[in-house]
Amino acid sequence: MPRVRADDYDTKYQAILDSAAALFAKVGYPSAKLQDVAKLCGATKSMLYHYFPTKDDLLQALLREHLERLLAEVEAAFASANSPKQRFYGFVEVFVTKSARSRQRHVSAMNDVKFLPSAKQTQIIDLERKVTSTITELLRELNPGLPDEVYAPYAMLLVGMLNWTDLWYKPSGKIKPGELCDRISRLYLRGFLAEKPEQSRSPGRRPRARPVAGEAR
């Protein structure tokens, strides 16, 4: 007979993920222990193992949930926009105005994917690439006619800039989120939209695209 889920299963599941994200962001994934996560969320170690048999399972679930939520928020922002430029501003806003909980998850996504075994990385890398391909196609709409091979590097330049805001930007500071979104969008678009096909075909080695939130693969 299948085991019946407790009514508070989802609540406890989210509490574990929140505690893990906070701990990983603070001490780093290699130094964090499952018993520390259990202590943070007021759970027993045996109860934590019921949800996540290993620390790798916990990290994989944390990153998967974060990236799926990010993609859903990008999709919602695109649905409410009337032009490619508005969708671009929506994409930037999703990254910059993440909640404190999402910011902790994003720091973990940037730093900790490399610690997962290869088999557990696959799903996360696929989600990262989906985020990257989304902005790549939007850039193609914004400035069509550039050499095909330059759109992915331009997308990674944008994603890299947005990723790192989580490590230095304080929403409570003098520059509020809306202003930062506007400044990032204007700075990037003024350069990208000024690019012409002849300017983009320069000699040299083609840069290799990197995933949305972490290390080179």
Kindly report, residue by residue over 173-202, the tens digit of the pLDDT: 999 999 999 999 999 999 999 999 876 555
Kindly report, residue by residue over 3-22, the tens digit of the pLDDT: 546 667 888 899 999 999 99
pTM attached to this predicted model? 0.81
Please list the ranges in the chain whose pLDDT falls under 70.
1-7, 100, 199-217
Q: 25 near 4, Cβ under 8 Å?
A: no
- Provide CB contacts within 8 A for 6, sequence distance 6+: 12
Closest to 56 (Cα-Cα) out of 29, 83, 82: 29
